[in-house]
């Protein structure tokens, strides 16, 4: 049996879709609107930035764009935790899976950054 193909682009798109659905369901109080807006921005931008990283013009450009994805995912994770704690959604326990996915994505990007930076260092030492 073949292992399923790991598709980070699809995973980031699904994460963004879920973020949109969560933000659309948030309370429309001043706090709910503020958190929803912040979460919408930080939770959907990694999908687009990942596409930019795929088309990077150099190793440094690639690393920079990966760092943007990483930072945005970390921010989204914090807004999700806040939305769950307040709570700003009707069923805060439903955010558990989304928080777990945010955590996994943060770890994936942290590992990718370490690898890219190590490869950059090796390349510089080969010169």
CA proximity to 47, closest of 69, 62, 20, 75: 69
pLDDT level of residue 5 (50, 70, 90 thresholds): low
pTM flag (> 0.85): yes
pLDDT level of residue 122 (50, 70, 90 thresholds): confident
Per-residue pLDDT, 93: 96
pLDDT tens digit string along 81-92?
A: 999 999 999 999
Inform me whether the pLDDT recorded for 47 exceeds 80.
Answer: yes
DSSP the chain: -PPPPP-HHHHHHHHHHHHHHHHHHS--SHHHHHHHHHHHHHHHHHHHHHHHHHT-SSHHHHHHHHHHHHHHHHHHHHHHHHHHHTT-SS-GGGHHHHHHHHHHHHHHHHHHHHHHHHHHHHHHHH-
């Amino acid at each position: 049996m073949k292992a399923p193909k790991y598709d980070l682009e699809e995973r980031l798109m699904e994460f963004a879709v879920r973020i949109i659905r969560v933000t659309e369901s948030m309370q429309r109080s001043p706090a709910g609107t503020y958190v929803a807006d912040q979460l919408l921005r930080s939770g959907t931008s990694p999908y687009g930035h990942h596409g930019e990283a795929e088309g990077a013009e150099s190793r440094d450009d690639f690393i920079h764009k990966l760092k943007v994805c990483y930072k945005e995912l970390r921010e989204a994770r914090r807004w999700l935790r806040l939305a769950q704690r307040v709570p700003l959604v009707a069923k805060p326990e439903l955010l558990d899976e989304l928080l777990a996915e945010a955590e996994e994505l943060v770890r994936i990007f942290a590992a990718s950054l370490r690898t890219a930076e190590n490869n950059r260092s090796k390349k510089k030492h080969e010169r």
